[in-house]
Amino acid sequence: MSDAFGIDLSALQAFQQAIAVTSNNVANANTPGYDEESINLTTAAPQTVGFGGVPIGDGVSVAGVSRAYSQAATNQLNTSQSSLGQLNALQNYTSQIDNLFGTTAAGLSTALQTYYNGWSTVADDPTSTAARQALLGDANALASNINSTSTQLNSLNSDVNSGIVADVQQINSIATSIATLNQQIANNASSGSGQAPNQLLDQRDQLVSNLSQLVGVTTSTDSNGALNVFVGNGQPLVLQGVTTTLTTIPDQFNASQLDISTSTSDGNSINSSITSGDLGGLLAARSQAINPALNQLGQIATALAQSANTQQNAGMNLNGQLGANMFSVGAPLATASSLNTDNTHATVSISNIGSLTSDNYLLAYSAGAYKLTDTTTGANVPLTGAGTALSPLSAAGLSIVLSATPAAGDQFLIQPTAQAAGTLSVALTDPSRIAAAAAVQTSAANTNTGSGTIGPATVQNAANPALLNTTTITFLSPTTYSVNGAGSFAYTSGGTISLNGWQTKISGTPALGDVFTVQSNAGATGDNTNALASASQQAQGILSNGTTSVAGAVSALITGVGSQAEQVNTAQTAQSAVNTQAQTAVSSVSGVNLDQEAANLVQWQQSYQAAAQALTIANSLFTSFMDSINGTYS
């Protein structure tokens, strides 16, 4: 009889524990990272040999509690979370940039169009101060639109910095927690209890999952149960109970931008290996979305300023002076690496706007030679020149002069347009100083008897000091002429005559003694030649070797930004779906199904009731036996 009591007791205890495990499942149904647990029951080893030598079991025993866990599904989820984290962070920025540029209303295109229309209005009525004032207003509105866009892009870069700092802190804190858990798990293993520390494992898995949202990680498990975590290209973050700290360092070329490093990387950036997770997304947003947009905007600002200034310089203002610059814009940036071993610095200017790109370039000096790499395409850019003031290095529309011969291994980052958008401003304040007129005018004497006519003079070199001098072209015969009474030059109808920085054409058949004059256009306040030319720059190809106008570049920028945002949106949506799949897979293995738990509860309850009933029966059997003995001896 006593074996029946023992068996029943073991069953009651086992089913109590089973009900406890089930209740624990129900209690943790909504706990993140909780893996459904189940009780492992085994038959207890037979301890008594029954009547006739037949072994009878000794009840049930609890072998342990195991958790429903799939390493493959978990790894998949972690990887997918890293990708999603990266895309979420990137999308946050691309959609902000997309909104920043908008489409049509109040955007950059409109401001640019208004500016060019302002020139047209000045051309309609060059003497009107109101029209000139309006043009200055339009130019200021355009500059401030570009400035504020640049400010907002820069503030996005500050956001990226804050995000990087926050991510790095969180990653370090998670890494520390994982290391602590590793120690506890290892201790548990060495204690030899043989029972898996399910709660610790759940916690650690959840931490790895959180970590993988911040940065892509790979893991490996040691024999003592410790989990080693690696980031990037296998830089260790957690090894057993030891962590390597992630740090932020200022970029070697741009101290305002933070790079990622580790406590063991000697201050070297590991940016290039961080490609996923929130951290990867932040770095991608900076290098693929924010900085390119700033550079392209800067390229637009540079092209606008340079083309407008060149045209201004070739014209004459209301006061009879040659036009001064309309816009001022920051020069290309050239930063020496903080790792350079000497103080050589580079000065970069734009020599050819048509070849100017929105890319950044890395100038490296080693083995007595310069090497220029486009950091966007990675392509090597052929250089000419020696890097001196007399023979500047020349490539990609840039002219580079170094202050001295650099030390071997020195590097310089050249950002031709990075600061242009932020520094664009209108240099003119006085409406009368807008050069709406041509600098020089041509005229034919009324006493001319031939049929020769002189065309307008165009300015080829506004810097020529003699540009505004009066030049008299007198015909010595129908085929020869003198200039300012000197020389005898052969005349061809329609041929170009160049002098003092201007160029004009005389055509037809002039007669002996015919006189043509080229002189300063001072006083020609109604002349709109230069205003017309400035207005027509709207359609003039300036960038990309004269194939892209400023307006074209703006529209390409807006479309490019929009396409990028769309691409990221699409990728994010797709990755979300992938992530849901991965989550479902994990949840399908490890999640708690309440109906299942309810069924289990009923099952355990019934088993418990049955065991209790068995105990009652054993008890009544024992009572009957005692009663019969009592009857015999009484």
Partner 1 sequence: MRITQGMEQAQFLSSLNQLESNIAQTQNQISTGLSFTTASQNPVDAGLVANYSAALAQSQQYTSNANAAQTDLNTEDTALTQVQSQLQSLRDLALEANSGSVSSQNLTAIAAQATQIQSSLLSLANTQNGNGDYIFAGNAAQTLPFALTATGASYAGDQGQQQVQIAAGLTVATGDNGNVVFNQIKTGNGTFTVTPSAANAGSGVIGATTVSNPAAYTGGSYSIDFTAPNTYRVLDAAPPHTVVTFGTYTSGQTIAFSGLQVTLSGQPAAGDSFAVAPSSDQSIFTTVQNLVTALQAGNATPTAKTQLSNSIAAAINNIDQALSQTSTVQAGVGGRLNLITTQLSVATSQQTQLQTSITSLQGLNYASAVTSLDSQNTTLSAAMQAFTLTQQLSLFKYIS
Asked if 288 interacts with partner 1 (CB under 8 A), we say: no
**Given candidates 160, 565, 582, 618, which one binds partner 1 under the rule CB under 8 A?**
565
**Given candidates 76, 86, 92, 121, which one binds partner 1 under the rule CB under 8 A?**
121
CB of 450 to partner 1, least distance (A): 9
Which residues between 80 and 99 bind partner 1 (CB under 8 A)? 94-95, 98-99
CA distances for 398 relative to 269, 308, 473, 552, 562, angstroms: 28, 19, 40, 22, 29
Asked if 110 interacts with partner 1 (CB under 8 A), we say: yes
Asked if 248 interacts with partner 1 (CB under 8 A), we say: no
Give 347 or 555: the residue with its C-beta nearer to partner 1: 555
Contacts with partner 1: how many residues (CB under 8 A)? 75
**Given candidates 10, 529, 537, 572, which one binds partner 1 under the rule CB under 8 A?**
529
Give 18 or 186: the residue with its C-beta nearer to partner 1: 18
CB of 562 to partner 1, least distance (A): 2
**Given candidates 37, 69, 92, 126, which one binds partner 1 under the rule CB under 8 A?**
126
Give 10 or 96: the residue with its C-beta nearer to partner 1: 96
Asked if 101 interacts with partner 1 (CB under 8 A), we say: yes
Of 39-47, 172-180, 339-347, 435-443: span binding partner 1 (CB under 8 A): 435-443
CB of 589 to partner 1, least distance (A): 7
Of 162-170, 184-192, 218-226, 564-572: span binding partner 1 (CB under 8 A): 564-572
Asked if 257 interacts with partner 1 (CB under 8 A), we say: no
Asked if 574 interacts with partner 1 (CB under 8 A), we say: no
520 phi, psi to nearest 5 deg:
-55, 145
**Given candidates 247, 248, 569, 603, which one binds partner 1 under the rule CB under 8 A?**
569
Asked if 47 interacts with partner 1 (CB under 8 A), we say: no
Asked if 551 interacts with partner 1 (CB under 8 A), we say: yes
Asked if 602 interacts with partner 1 (CB under 8 A), we say: yes
**Given candidates 183, 394, 525, 540, which one binds partner 1 under the rule CB under 8 A?**
525
Q: Please tell me the distance from the alpha carbon of residue 234 to that of residue 169, in angstroms, as a whole number.
A: 20
Neighbouring C-alpha atoms within 13 Å toward the C-beta of 313: 16
Which residues between 18 and 37 bind partner 1 (CB under 8 A)? 29-30
Q: Please tell me the distance from the alpha carbon of residue 41 to that of residue 18, in angstroms, as a whole number.
A: 9
Q: Please tell me the distance from the alpha carbon of residue 590 to that of residue 28, in angstroms, as a whole number.
A: 12
Q: Are 302 and 417 in contact (CB under 8 A)?
A: yes
Which residues between 366 and 405 bind partner 1 (CB under 8 A)? none
Q: Are 77 and 582 in contact (CB under 8 A)?
A: yes
CB of 367 to partner 1, least distance (A): 45
Give 257 or 358: the residue with its C-beta nearer to partner 1: 358
Asked if 504 interacts with partner 1 (CB under 8 A), we say: no
Q: Please tell me the distance from the alpha carbon of residue 360 to that of residue 358, in angstroms, as a whole number.
A: 7
Asked if 70 interacts with partner 1 (CB under 8 A), we say: no
Q: Are 418 and 333 in contact (CB under 8 A)?
A: yes
Asked if 128 interacts with partner 1 (CB under 8 A), we say: yes
566 phi, psi to nearest 5 deg:
-65, -45
* Conformational region of residue 173, where left means phi above 0, alpha means psi within -120 to 50, and beta covers everything else: alpha
Q: Please tell me the distance from the alpha carbon of residue 259 to that of residue 414, in angstroms, as a whole number.
A: 18
Q: Are 108 and 558 in contact (CB under 8 A)?
A: yes
Q: Please tell me the distance from the alpha carbon of residue 342 to that of residue 355, in angstroms, as a whole number.
A: 31
**30 burial type by CB count under 10 A (0-12 exposed, 13-18 middle, 19+ buried):** exposed
Give 128 or 288: the residue with its C-beta nearer to partner 1: 128
Which residues between 441 and 460 bind partner 1 (CB under 8 A)? 441-444, 446-447, 449
Q: Please tell me the distance from the alpha carbon of residue 414 to that of residue 375, in angstroms, as a whole number.
A: 10
Q: Are 435 and 346 in contact (CB under 8 A)?
A: no
Give 248 or 593: the residue with its C-beta nearer to partner 1: 593
Of 114-122, 225-233, 369-377, 414-422: span binding partner 1 (CB under 8 A): 114-122
Crossing angle, helix 277-284 and helix 129-191, to 10 degrees? 160
Asked if 562 interacts with partner 1 (CB under 8 A), we say: yes
Q: Kindly report each contact of residues 372-375 with a partner whose C-beta sits within 8 Å and lies 24 or more positions away, as own/partner.
A: 372/396, 372/414, 375/413
Give 17 or 555: the residue with its C-beta nearer to partner 1: 555
**Given candidates 188, 528, 537, 607, which one binds partner 1 under the rule CB under 8 A?**
528
Asked if 430 interacts with partner 1 (CB under 8 A), we say: no
Which residues between 582 and 601 bind partner 1 (CB under 8 A)? 583-584, 587-589, 591-596, 598-599, 601
**479 burial type by CB count under 10 A (0-12 exposed, 13-18 middle, 19+ buried):** middle
**Given candidates 532, 571, 612, 614, which one binds partner 1 under the rule CB under 8 A?**
532
Q: Please tell me the distance from the alpha carbon of residue 418 to that of residue 330, in angstroms, as a whole number.
A: 9
Instruction: Show the tokens assigned to 389.
Output: 């003031």
CB of 521 to partner 1, least distance (A): 7
Contacts of 608 by beta carbon, 8 Å cutoff, 6+ apart: 11, 12, 15, 16, 19
Q: Please tell me the distance from the alpha carbon of residue 506 to that of residue 499, in angstroms, as a whole number.
A: 14
Asked if 1 interacts with partner 1 (CB under 8 A), we say: no
Q: Please tell me the distance from the alpha carbon of residue 474 to that of residue 513, in angstroms, as a whole number.
A: 6
The 10 Å Cβ neighbour count of residue 2 is 9
Asked if 538 interacts with partner 1 (CB under 8 A), we say: yes
CB of 433 to partner 1, least distance (A): 16
Of 12-20, 109-117, 424-432, 624-632: span binding partner 1 (CB under 8 A): 109-117
Asked if 123 interacts with partner 1 (CB under 8 A), we say: yes
Asked if 558 interacts with partner 1 (CB under 8 A), we say: yes
b/e map of 404-414 (b: 16 or more CB within 10 Å)?
Answer: eebeeebbbbb
Q: Are 436 and 535 in contact (CB under 8 A)?
A: no
